[in-house]
């Protein structure tokens, strides 16, 4: 996905907005139903779409716990990589979805990453491996 279609905010946290020409419920399900996640490329995945439900993406390379789920407008979960130092805290991902006449505006806030290098990898990775493939699948 071309970086020009994503809106970044320069902070210690990652803030990205992305518009998808698709109804809000379909976008939310593409993030919370394992079968659909697998179809756009985030799998093999596991998703327990409920508060305190566990999830994993890319065959367990990334995983966490859902802290808040409000279909179809908000999703909050912890996230960490399998390769992270066990002493590092989990990061926190918050998705806010807003429907408009042309589809759905997704806003991502990713906080608490353990280093600048990992933050840069995730900033680029959200577009390349998550938002880009999901958007292409939904549109």
Can you give the pLDDT at residue 97?
98
* Secondary structure letter of residue 84 according to DSSP: S
Query: ∠22-28-29 over CA atoms, to 5°?
Result: 100
Give 55's strand partners. 47, 64
**Residues 19-53: pLDDT tens digits?**
999 999 999 999 999 999 999 999 999 999 999 99
**Mean pLDDT calculated for residue range 66-92:** 96
Spatial distance between the Cα atoms of 74 and 95, rounded to a whole number of angstroms: 6
**Residues 2-17: pLDDT tens digits?**
444 444 444 589 999 9
pTM of the model: 0.89
Can you give the pLDDT at residue 1?
40
Spatial distance between the Cα atoms of 23 and 106, rounded to a whole number of angstroms: 11
Write down the CATH number for the domain with range 13-138.
3.30.530.20
User: Measured in Å, how far apart are the chain's first and last C-alpha atoms?
Assistant: 13
């Amino acid at each position: 996905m071309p970086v020009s279609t994503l809106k970044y905010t320069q902070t210690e946290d990652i803030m990205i907005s992305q518009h998808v020409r698709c109804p809000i419920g379909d976008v939310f399900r593409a993030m919370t139903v394992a079968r659909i996640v697998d179809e756009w490329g985030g799998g093999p995945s596991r998703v327990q779409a409920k508060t305190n439900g566990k999830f994993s993406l890319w065959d367990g390379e990334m995983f966490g716990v859902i802290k808040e789920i409000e279909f179809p407008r908000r999703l909050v979960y912890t996230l960490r990589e399998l390769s992270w130092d066990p002493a590092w805290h989990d990061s926190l991902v918050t998705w806010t979805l807003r429907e408009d006449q042309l589809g759905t505006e997704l806003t991502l806030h990713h906080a608490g990453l353990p280093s600048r290098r990992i933050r840069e990898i995730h900033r680029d990775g959200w577009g390349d491996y998550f938002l880009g493939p999901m958007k292409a699948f939904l549109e």
